[in-house]
Amino acid sequence: MHRWIIYGEAKGGGVDHISGDKTNNRRANLRIATQTQNARNTRIATNNTSGFKGVSQTAEGRWRARITVDRAEIRLGNFDTREQAAAAYDAAALIHHGEFASPNEPPLCL
């Protein structure tokens, strides 16, 4: 349905739901996107234990931030708090993913 709304017909190509809600097919919530761009606009994984995207705990108890850019993992560093790590992820997401960035809610780098 969303391809009909954005293209006016069932063409190939990708369509991204800006809000991440796949049931919201209003034209204002849709944009043309490559598969890579669409993958950037994801929600937090259901098995996430830190509560933040791009953040995990190290064996030493610190918090690691990392992001994937063009299929390569970029390590952003280890931090004392998970909020600091989340802020590092959010800043990197905005830099590397631009309008398709999906920072933590609310974004902690602002």
For residue 59, tell me if it sits in a domain: yes
Please state whether beta strands 55-57 and 30-33 pair in parallel, antiparallel, or not at all (unpaired). Answer: unpaired
Count the neighbouring beta carbons within 10 Å of the beta carbon of residue 55. Answer: 26
Q: Whole-prediction pTM value?
A: 0.78
Q: Tens digits of per-residue pLDDT, 51-91?
A: 999 999 999 999 999 999 988 999 999 999 999 999 999 99
For residue 57, tell me if it sits in a domain: yes
For residue 108, tell me if it sits in a domain: yes
* CA–CA gap between residue 53 and residue 68 (Å, rounded): 11
For residue 38, tell me if it sits in a domain: no
Q: Tens digits of per-residue pLDDT, 11-54?
A: 556 788 888 888 888 888 888 888 888 878 778 888 999 999 99
| Contact by Cβ (8 Å): 14, 25 | no
